[in-house]
Every structure is written in C-alpha cells, then in structure tokens.
Amino acid sequence: TYCFGLATYRPKATYSIEEFANVWDDIFADKRVLLVNPPDWRLGEEKALEQFRQRCGGCRKISPMLYGEGELLPPFRRAKQLFMIHPNALPFQAAVGQEWPHHFVGVRTAAAEAKANVIAVAWGPFGDILVAELACLSLQAIDVGNLLDILNGYEKDVDVDSANLYDSPRNLTTGGAG
C-alpha cells in the first residue's frame, strides 16, 4: 500500500524534536534500512560529500554499491543496520525519464545487497515516485523527505498549517481576493 502524506513533519505543539525522533526511531527499530539520499552536488563536491557523511553518521564504503557502519542518527538510532546507496549512484536532481529504469534497478540492487527490510527515501520529488514504484513491488518503503534535516538540527521544522498558506489569492477574513 502506498500512502502519501505529511507524516514526516512534526505535529505542532505535540512533540518536542527529541520526542518526535524517538517515535521515528521506533518505526525503524530492528530493521535493516537502506537510505536513498543523493548528495546535493549544487553545494560543490566537498560540501556535498560532507553532508552525505553527516547523514550516514560518518559511514564508510563497504562495497561498490553501499556505504555503512556509521553512527546511527535519528530516525535510525534503533535500526539493526543502516546502509546508504553510493553517493554517485543517483543524481540529486533532474532525473531524466529515460534514465529512470537504470536508477530504479540500482536502488533495487542496493536494497537486495543490503538485505534491507525497509527503504527510506529522501530524494525530493523523485522520492515520491520511487516509494510508489517500490510499494508496487511489495517492498516496504517510506519517503522521509526533510525528516533527516529536522531531526538532526539542519533545518527548522515546517509548519504545514501556517496562516500564510491562505494569504493569497483569497483573504479568509473578508472572503474576497487578497
């Protein structure tokens, strides 16, 4: 089953970041997780690879396809093992449609090599597509979106219910055009 939603955004005033991280740690508890999170090459090679290493807890290359053996960071602190797909395996952005089958097979191959129970995906709009494709093959996958940044202090939580969503083109107080 594929479910798209905003589950990775912290509910307002319900949990602290640490409480929210603990809930997510439970989701990945005792799982072998493959994290699909291509580096942001727009940052430049050095910063992109530094970001990659931070997200996988200082992991190291363990095979031509996988990185692992890093410190387990939220939301994977209770995972049995965490692997990341090689930083050069997927583009950060602009995956061309004709290249999609190659990228998809690469992820499936990495998941098989890692013997992953679940595939966590943080790959922008391509993450939605990848999670749906994996779910169609009965593989457990979840789009963790910006969850990694929120839980590890790299990005502020996102208020998806903010009043500014309604400021334009309609003003809710008058019911008219903004």
Residue 165 has pLDDT above 70, yes or no: no
pLDDT per position as a tens digit, 6-61: 455 555 557 788 888 898 999 999 999 999 999 888 888 999 899 899 888 999 99
10 Å Cβ neighbour count for 1? 4
Residue 69 has pLDDT above 90, yes or no: yes
Rg over CA atoms, the chain = 18
Residue 3 has pLDDT above 70, yes or no: no
Q: What is the mean pLDDT of residues 100-105?
A: 85
pTM for this entry: 0.79
Lowest-pLDDT range of 72-81, 139-148, 161-170: 161-170
pLDDT per position as a tens digit, 104-160: 899 999 999 999 999 999 888 788 888 988 988 888 999 887 788 788 776 654 444
**Which two three-digit tokens encode residue 81?**
């093992």
pLDDT greater at residue 175 or residue 144 = 144
- Structure confidence at residue 91 (pLDDT): 82
H-only helix segments in the chain: 17-27, 45-55, 100-114, 124-136, 147-151
- Structure confidence at residue 169 (pLDDT): 35
- Residue 84 in 3-state DSSP? strand
Phi and psi torsions of 35, nearest 5°: -100, 120
10 Å Cβ neighbour count for 86? 16
